[in-house]
Structure 1
Amino acid sequence: MKKLEIVGYRRANLGRNEAQDLRAEGNVPSVLYGGKDQVHFYAPAMLFRPLLTTPDIFEVTLNIEGELFKAILQDSQFDPVNDMIIHADFLEIIDGKEIKVDVPIKLTGASTGVFKGGKLNQKLRKLRVKGLSENIPDYIEVDITSLDLGKSVKVSAIQAEGFTILSQMSNPVASIEIPRALRGQLKA
């Protein structure tokens, strides 16, 4: 996992008005849970940019008034009008405890079906997995070289080493669609 540090400050007051005041100052109200206690804090919104603009998974080091926590971003909420982040939830990473996270899927290889004129359609962009944080990969590679026209690769074809796949095994990851022009040629 990639690493990122966010420096934050504990929230003295909780509630809607205080949260709105923090947002007006350019901060993001946040919560860290999964450990002994929930920690309510805020951090400058600009520190969240690398975390939110990529599909990658980050191990975030939260520095809250000098106290360090290892965590992952579990959920984020955005303003529906201006797309600014308005809230973030972090899950604390505890050694020896499994975490659930969505890992990006990276397609590799050149499909034979695409060379024949088919269209590659990636159905899943992320895969839900469970495991220890040190065993979670940055991304999961899926080889599509053997995909022919009308074929697909399913989640069940992915080898999981050190983690468990929680996504439905029968879901297709990628498929090669046959264009309308080719369907007429294949029938004749």
Structure 2
Amino acid sequence: MKSITIQGTKRESVGKKSTKALRDAELVPCVVYGGKETLNFSAEERSFKGLVYTPEAHTVSIEVDGNTIPAVLQDIQFHPITDKILHADFYQLSDDKAVVMEVPVRLTGRAKGVVAGGALRQSFRKLKLKAIPANLPDEIVVDVTPLKIGNKLYVGDIKADGFTFMHPDNAVVVAVKMSRTAMKGGAAAMDEEDELEAEEVKDQSPDVPTTEEKSTEA
């Protein structure tokens, strides 16, 4: 998995006053836990650009006071109005310790149901999984080609190689629904078929004289 580096400065004070001063200086209060000791540090908000504002998944190398700590982002808080980053939590990685993180889902192929006029619906853009750092995948690749209209692909259908999904097996990742266009097309086809059947019945019906014709004959 790709990794990005975040340069940090150790925080000596973690009070509200100190936190506000950091945010005013466009610095993000952060914490990394999971190791022998919890580390509180701050980092420039712009250093999060390649970690947060991207569809890709990354591990993080946190560099503080000459030490490098491998970690993954566990939680991040944004201001409800300005979207500025308020706080970030990291979890320190260990080679033999499994970690939970979200990984993007990439769809490949063109579903048969889409070719037939259906619409593809993706329920999960990312999937949460658990694995040791060496087995963390960059992405989960899902081939949707076999899916027909009405078909669904579940978490349990995806091969998990070296990791475990943190979702139930029956969670729907992607489905092919009947689109409005296809429904209208199907309805129109049915109407046309009904008309043809009516014409056939009419053509096959015996010629029965009407009441007026019977009176004339008499």
Which range, TM-score by smaller chain?
over 0.9
Q: Which residue does the alignment assign to 2:64?
A: 64
Tell me, in whole angstroms, the C-alpha distance in 1 between the residues paired with 2:149 and 2:35: 49
Using the size of structure 2 for normalisation, the TM-score is: 0.83
Partner residue in 2 for 1:107? 107
Name the stretch that deviates more: 132-141 or 173-182.
173-182
Q: List aligned pairs for 1:1-188, cutoff 5 A.
A: 1-183=1-183, 185=186, 188=190
Cα distance in 1 for partners of 2:4, 2:182 equals: 48
What displacement does 1:123 show? 0.7
d(CA) in 1 for partners of 2:125 and 2:168? 14
1:132 and 1:140 map into 2 onto residues whose CA distance is: 16
Deviations 1:132-167 (A, max 9, x none): 111010000111000111111111110011111121
Contact 2:10 2:41 (C-alpha < 8 Å) held by counterparts: yes
In structure 1, what is the equivalent of residue 205 of structure 2? none
Q: Distance in 2 between matches of 1:61 and 1:161?
A: 25
TM-score, length-scaled by structure 1: 0.96
The 8 Å contact of residues 117 and 181 in structure 2, kept in 1 or not, is answered as no
Q: Percent identity?
A: 37
Q: Which amino acid counterpart does residue 119 of structure 2 have in structure 1?
A: K
User: Deviations along 1:61-83, whole A, 9 cap, x unmatched?
Assistant: 10011111000111110011111
Between Structure 1 and Structure 2, which shows a larger proportion of strand residues? 1
Task: Quote the Cα distance in structure 1 between the aligned partners of 2:95 and 2:118.
Answer: 46
Larger Rg: 2
Q: What is the root-mean-square deviation of aligned Cα atoms in Å?
A: 1.3
- State the one-letter code of the partner of 1:42: S
Q: Which runs of 5 or more structure 2 residues have no equivalent in the other structure? A: 191-218
Q: Secondary structure at the match of 1:147?
A: coil
Identify which of structures 1 and 2 has the higher relative contact order when contacts are C-alpha pairs closer than 8 Å and 6+ apart.
Answer: 1
Q: Distance in 2 between matches of 1:181 and 1:60?
A: 46
**Which portions of structure 1, spanning 4 or more consecutive aligned residues, are displaced by more than 3 angstroms?**
none
1:4-26 deviation line (CA, Å, top 9, x unaligned): 11111111111111111001001
Query: How far apart, CA to CA, are the structure 2 residues paired with 1:156 and 1:86?
Result: 36
C-alpha distance in 2 between matches for 1:101 and 1:167:
12
